[in-house]
Amino acid sequence: MFTTLLKMAWRNIWRQRRRTLLTAAAISLALILSILARSLQEGSYAHNIDNGARFSSGLLQIQHPKFGDSGSIDDLVPGSEEFIAPLREDERINHIVPRIESFALAAGAERSRGARVMGVRPELEDAYARVGQKLSAGEYLLADDNAVLLGVGLARYLNVGIGDEVVLYGQGYRGQTAAGLYPIKGLLSFPMPGIDDRLVYMPLAAAEQLFSTDGQVTNWVVHTHTLSLLPELLTQVGATYPQYRVRDWEDMLPEMAQQISMDRAGGYFMMVLLYGVVGFGLFATLLMMTLERQREFGVMLATGLLRSRLMILIAFESLFIATLGFVMGLLVVLPVLLWLQAYPIRMTGEMAQMVVEMGFEPVIPALLEAFVFAEQVQTTLFILMLCLIYPLYRVYALTVVVALQGKGHVG
């Protein structure tokens, strides 16, 4: 039975090509607009999360259980290769970076300011956070350097430059005094304000000596190439290191997570409006398609076709048209998304300044992830099913005699 109905449905949709293509175009329009909007929205989030993670917290951190609350240099984890070796073979992980993060007073000849000091392995940090690309003056660090990189804002405030020296003074491991005099080897410029105003980079070995950590680090940063893998990876790393605390970026950067949640809620509201407009157009098209075929339906019922099978036939026709619309929509939107992924939209003017002040980079790339396409296809299909309810009711309640007369009376 179903095979016969499928064949009939396929033949029926091509009897009126204009009607079929019109309905498919309405579906493809909904799919194109929704996928484009969601891809750009989620792409912007993913880009800014990735940037914020690389320059700040990382996507995941392995920490001492107390470090997240205390921020104390006394709460450390082993910095040895043996400690992190269990994660080296995980294909989901593309970066593992040790860091010593603490605070110290940075002082020039005349002024001083509290600064965030990051002890890093220069080659790993450059591969991960692309710090070398942020150099606005000077040279990048080497592993055995006893020098520092300063953010441009901090250097400007301290009135120091390349070749000058800066004093770092703070608290070391277990109450020891952390004090050192370091030449400035380079200046860093970041797209987000607040980062280069208080940031000092130094080689991990120099940071270990400054803070007397004896081969320990404050955290290991773990990064994955795809954000969708993060929940699974968080669970796995937590199981690997049960005696330590594993935190994701949302836990470490709650302000950014909140901003994204609020913006995403606004995006969902706009999507509802978009689907509402497209849904009304799709409903009108499907209803028109049903009403203009009532004489045809009357003939089918008069020749013995059951109403239930007629309704299934209409559902199959709608499914075929929806599939055609999905294919048309994907063929149109995929090249656009690939282009936007390779050449992302870069905001300018006041809008760009506003985005920068919020802590984001003014770039809107497209995100090509399966969930973006799956969500929109499912939503469009759901809207199609809702739009079919009333037309199917009209068919179910159709009076054969009146339908044959073409009056469209519902009994």
Residue-wise DSSP of 253-288 = -HHHHHHHHHHHHHHHHHHHHHHHHHHHHHHHHHHH
**Domain co-membership, 73 together with 143:** yes
Average pLDDT rounded to a whole number, residues 316-329? 89
Q: In the prediction, which pLDDT does 98 show?
A: 95
Does 411 reside within a domain? no
- Structure tokens, 115: 């600064």
**Domain co-membership, 124 together with 169:** yes
> Whole-angstrom Cα distance, residue 123 to residue 99?
13
Q: In the prediction, which pLDDT does 409 show?
A: 45
Side chain identity, residue 186: G
**Domain co-membership, 150 together with 39:** no
> Whole-angstrom Cα distance, residue 93 to residue 81?
16
Q: In the prediction, which pLDDT does 122 show?
A: 94
Pair 130, 181: CB distance under 8 Å: no
More confident residue, 300 or 185: 185
- Structural domain range at position 300: 2-52+257-405
**Domain co-membership, 276 together with 231:** no
pLDDT tens, residue by residue, 221-234: 999 888 888 999 99
Which strand (E) or helix (H) includes residue 152? helix 152-158
CA atoms within 13 A on the CB side of 231: 1
- Residues 6 or more apart whose CB falls under 8 angstroms from that of 383 comprise 30, 275, 278, 279, 282
Does 212 reside within a domain? yes
**Domain co-membership, 196 together with 236:** yes
Q: In the prediction, which pLDDT does 191 show?
A: 62
Average pLDDT rounded to a whole number, residues 387-408? 79
Q: In the prediction, which pLDDT does 393 show?
A: 86
Average pLDDT rounded to a whole number, residues 26-31? 84
Does 60 reside within a domain? no
Average pLDDT rounded to a whole number, residues 118-143? 91
Of 216, 243, 270, the one marking the end of a domain is 243
Does 249 reside within a domain? no
Of 217, 243, 269, the one marking the end of a domain is 243
**Domain co-membership, 166 together with 210:** yes
Of 243, 265, 286, the one marking the end of a domain is 243
More confident residue, 338 or 360: 338
Does 370 reside within a domain? yes
Does 349 reside within a domain? yes
| Its pTM surpasses 0.85 | no
Does 127 reside within a domain? yes
Most confident by average pLDDT, 122-131, 140-149, 298-307: 140-149
**Domain co-membership, 164 together with 271:** no
**Domain co-membership, 108 together with 80:** yes
Does 410 reside within a domain? no
pLDDT tens, residue by residue, 177-210: 999 999 999 999 876 656 778 899 999 999 999 9
- Structure tokens, 34: 């929704």
- Structure tokens, 392: 């199917």
**Domain co-membership, 268 together with 139:** no
Q: How many domains does the chain have?
A: 2
**Domain co-membership, 289 together with 370:** yes
**Domain co-membership, 192 together with 219:** yes
**Domain co-membership, 348 together with 400:** yes
pLDDT band at residue 410 using 50, 70 and 90 as cut-offs: very low
pLDDT tens, residue by residue, 246-270: 999 988 888 888 888 888 888 888 8
